[in-house]
Copies of this chain bind each other. A is one copy, B any other.
Amino acid sequence: MSLSPISLELTITLPTWLNKDNWSPSYPTDIEKMRLVIDLAQKNVLHETGGPFAAGVFTNSGELIAIGTNSVTRLNLAPLHAEIVAILFAQQRLNSYSFRSSGLPPCELFTSCEPCAMCLGAVLWSGFSRVACGATKQDAEGIGFKEGPVPTEIDGYMRGQGIEIIRELLRPEAIHVLETYRKKRGPIYNA
């Protein structure tokens, strides 16, 4: 095995097709927030820049802080699920490892599909006040993705940490993205 030298730096980019100019500075309703992330998930599929998933971090008043598209295959990095990417970019922008830091408004994660075991952990460590999901774990598993050992008592655990969970918001539209990916025979990178 011939390897490049060990690097001390790594850069994560968002896809080049992203056009920030198309984003509204504010997404007042849950439906508008979810519609944005589902639209980005669909574009991620059509541009073949990753799995059929996207996520966004918003303040509780609807300001868009950051978005993330699944970047596993594009950047060859397994941890780069949409939620992880959105969290990294949001925390970089707010310059804080916790959305519960003083001076910050409550922050919410909108994700086009229920988070896997890894992303649930990242949600916990990031201090969200609210998480809203489109497609379900079963929908993702239905096209071949794994979600990992998500504990059955997760909703109660999240509520105990002060995190409200909303499920199946615009689920049909979110499922449509998964179906598009299946029809295009997109790679199932964690099968």
Chain A residues packing against B (C-beta within 8 Å):
1, 3-4, 6-14, 18, 20, 23, 59, 63-66, 72-73, 76-79, 84, 87-89, 91-98, 103-105, 116-122, 124-127, 146, 148-149, 151, 153-154, 157, 189-190
Number of copies: 2
Known A-B contacts A9-B11, A76-B92; the reply to A119 vs B121 at CB < 8 A is: yes
Name the B residues within 8 Å of A92 (CB-CB). 7, 10, 76-77
Whether B97 contacts A73 by the Cβ 8 Å rule is yes
Whether A190 contacts B6 by the Cβ 8 Å rule is no
Known A-B contacts A6-B20, A77-B97; the reply to A149 vs B148 at CB < 8 A is: no
Name the B residues within 8 Å of A118 (CB-CB). 117-122, 124-125
Whether A20 contacts B8 by the Cβ 8 Å rule is yes
